[in-house]
Amino acid sequence: MSEPAKGISRADVSHLAGLARIDLSEAELDHFAAELPAILEHVAVVQQAAGDDVEAMSHPVPVNNVFREDVVVPCLTPEEALAGAPASDQQRFLVPKILGED
């Protein structure tokens, strides 16, 4: 097993998985904690590439706000929109309780 690189530990991976809403198993946490340091070390070279004078490029083609005419166009029916839902009720998405009970 490689040593975790500076900046990412098993606890960090667990925290990140929580942020990403993925309930990783203990085995998955072990696996990623062992593997991610090498990947992060590899990608960290980008920090040496450019100084403060270089602008960040978020998009390959410059895009400004794109608008269309404010007119009604055909869209999905409620039935179509709900067709793929795991659960629905009275033309609404049915979801588990939003708040935890503690």
Partner 1 sequence: MTDLTKLSAADLAGKLARKEVSSVEATQAQLDRIAAVDGDVHAFLHVDAEGALATAADIDARRAAGEGLHGLAGVPIAVKDIVATKGMPTTCGSKILDGWIPPYDATITQRIKAAGLPILGKTNMDEFAMGSSTEHSAYGPTRNPWDRDRIPGGSGGGSAAAVAAFEAALAIGTDTGGSIRQPGALTGTVGVKPTYGGISRYGLVALASSLDQAGPVTRTVLDAALLHELMGGHDPMDSTSIDAPAPLVVSAARRADVKGLKIGIVKELGGEGFQAGVSARFHEAVELLTSAGAEVVEVSLPSLEYALAAYYLVMPSEASSNLARFDAMRYGVRVPPAGADDPSAEQVMASSRDAGFGDEVKRRIIVGTYALSSGYYDAYYGSAQKVRTLLARDFASAFEQVDVLVSPTSPTTAWPLGAKLDDPLSMYLQDVATIPANLAGIPGISLPVGLAEEDGLPVGLQFLAPQQADDRLYNAGAALEKLLEDKWGGPMLAQAPDLEVVR
Residues 40 and 8 sit within 8 Å (Cβ to Cβ): yes
How many residues contact partner 1, by CB under 8 A? 57
Tell me the two tokens of residue 27. Answer: 């085995």
The only residue of 42, 70, 89, 90 in contact with partner 1, by rule CB under 8 A: 42
Out of 27, 54, 71, 72, the only residue in the binding site for partner 1 (CB under 8 A) is 54
**Are residues 16 and 33 in contact, defined by beta-carbon separation less than 8 angstroms?**
no
Q: Which residues pair with 88 in a beta bridge?
A: 93
43 binds partner 1 (CB under 8 A): yes
As measured in angstroms, the least distance from the Cβ of 15 to partner 1 is 9
* Burial class of 33 by CB neighbour count within 10 A (0 to 12, 13 to 18, 19+): buried
- Give the footprint of partner 1 on this chain (CB under 8 A): 7-8, 12-13, 16-25, 28, 32, 35-36, 38-40, 42-50, 54-61, 63, 66, 68, 76, 80-81, 83-87, 93, 95-101
